[in-house]
Amino acid sequence: MDRLQEIKDTLKNYKGETIRFMEVCGTHTAAISENGIPGMLSDNIKLISGPGCPVCVTVTAVIDRLTELSMEENTTVLTFGDLIRVKGSKYSLADARALGGSVEMLYSPMDAIRLALEHKDRNYVFAAIGFETTTPVYAMVLEEAIKRDVHNLKLLTSLKTMPQVIRWVCKNTNNVDGFIAPGHVAVVTGSDVFKELSEETGIPFVVTGFEGPQLLAAIYALTGMKDKAGIKNLYRSVVTEKGNLEAKEAVDKFFEPCDASWRGMGLIPGSGMRLKSEYAAYDAGSYGLDEDHMPPGCSCARVLTGEIAPNECPLFGKTCTPEDAHGACMVSTEGSCYNYYISGRTSKN
């Protein structure tokens, strides 16, 4: 019997007490569904999705600010992917565009520089949303903007960091027995960040990649680490203990830690990054965007913290579907509601 089959058999036949593992990476959430991982596990191994989807944890005040900016004369909002469909307190960026606002989707961050240079008489606002993985990208954009003397491009930032929100989850819930640590984030931060978290919380962490066998290996490792603090790095091909020092230096040059508001969780001290004061000229009004208005009946807050499974939300699959999403977790392809819906996943795992 090969090692992978042995792992599969062990996980499927696990008969110990119920254990709950949380992934805090949107790409892991998608990969778990795409690979059919929940169906490979014992009923006593539960997988829950945490606040690892950057679009999903963006509060409505940020969306509202972006929609307002898109309606201003001579201003275009630039954004990646799923954010365009996430509703603010009233409108999404897609709605704003339909109402006459100027919104463009980007496929490369350097497109923001190109557009600003090509249309120097127009103002551009780049929606800078993400975690430690993408913050270096925005630092790179700023570096290039300064180098090329670009003055008609600003950032509207909603940048968040993982350690503090994981601490928040551990402090405010008692339903996590282990964490599948975010692989992409760990490339930048290094695995030592999660070693410190494990020592503080007494909960084990495993860093892993995004292939089906890698995820199964992580779950298998966590099953053997229950009630034991510690970290295993199963993604050593790209994750080191200290992380990407060059990326960290780029971020430290332009950004500093700040308090940040998370959808459904409120203000979490020290969980965000904002532009340093010397770069305030490149900020499009990011400070103080803390209000969050959930659609009536939406349970995103409880889903994001693993309190309930997505299909336990009363709107799931009824009035809330990927085609007509109410909550951000159903909009993003990294959102847990979206992935539950498209995979037909039940709350069993």
Task: Provide DSSP, 302-320.
Answer: HHHTTSS-GGGSTTBTTTB
Span 181-198, average pLDDT = 95
pTM of the predicted model, to two decimals? Answer: 0.92
Q: In what order do the strands lie in the sheet with 75-79?
A: 103-105, 75-79, 123-130, 153-160, 266-275, 255-262
In contact, 305 and 336? CB cutoff 8 Å: no
Reported as a single tens digit per residue, the pLDDT across 109-158 is: 999 999 999 999 999 999 999 999 999 999 999 999 999 999 999 999 99
Residue 347 has pLDDT above 60, yes or no: no
Q: Are 188 and 219 in contact (CB under 8 A)?
A: no
The predicted-structure confidence for 229-277, as pLDDT tens digits, reads as follows 999 999 999 999 999 999 999 999 999 999 999 988 899 999 999 999 9
- Average of per-residue pLDDT values in the chain: 93
